[in-house]
Structure 1
Amino acid sequence: MATRKITITVPEELVESIKERVDARGVSGYIAAAAAHQDAMDRLRELAERLEEEHGAVTDDEQQAALDRIAAIDGWHDEKRSDSDEAA
């Protein structure tokens, strides 16, 4: 992926906090990862808004059904992980 150098203004306390976690060359990567995450969240929010406009809002029942399905999948993965750990 091509990169481009830009200038940004960041609160000094934030920069110091980041530097405590990464070396000097890692600051750019840390900030780039944070910007990429925010960009992904913005795109996801835009998609959700378009889907809501097209199909209507998700009902409480639909949301609960999705959460229940996610919990079931998590449980299945936990069980498989536990089975794998016991076999090892």
Structure 2
Amino acid sequence: MATRKITITLPEELIESIKERVDARGVSAYIAAAAAHQDEMDRLRELAACLEQEHGPVTDSEQQAALDRIAAIDDWHDARQSRSGEAA
């Protein structure tokens, strides 16, 4: 991916906090990762808004069904990891 140098302004305390976690060359990567994450969240919000406009809001029961499905997948994954750990 092509990159381009830009100038941004951040609070000094934030810059120091980031520098404590990464070396000087890692600051750009850290900021890029944070910006990429924010971009992904913004895109998800836009998608959710489009879906809600087209299909209506998610009901409580639909949301609970999705959470239950995610929990079932997590349980399946954990059980699979446990079995593969026993075989090792």
**Structure 2 length normalisation: TM-score?**
0.99
1:53 matched to which residue of 2?
A: 53
Measured against aligned partners, the alpha-carbon deviations of 1:4-58 in whole angstroms (never above 9, x if no partner) come to: 0000000000000000000000000000000000000000000000000000000
1:11 matched to which residue of 2?
A: 11
2:27 matched to which residue of 1?
A: 27
Matches of 1:69 and 1:32 in 2, distance apart? 33
Letter in 1 for 2:43: R
Matches of 1:20 and 1:79 in 2, distance apart? 38
Gap runs ≥5 in structure 1: none
1:40 matched to which residue of 2?
A: 40
**Structure 1 length normalisation: TM-score?**
0.99
- Runs (4+) of structure 1 exceeding 2 A deviation are none
Letter in 1 for 2:30: Y
Identity across the alignment (%) = 83
Question: How many residue pairs are counted as aligned between the two chains?
Answer: 88
Letter in 2 for 1:16: E
Letter in 2 for 1:44: L
Gap runs ≥5 in structure 2: none
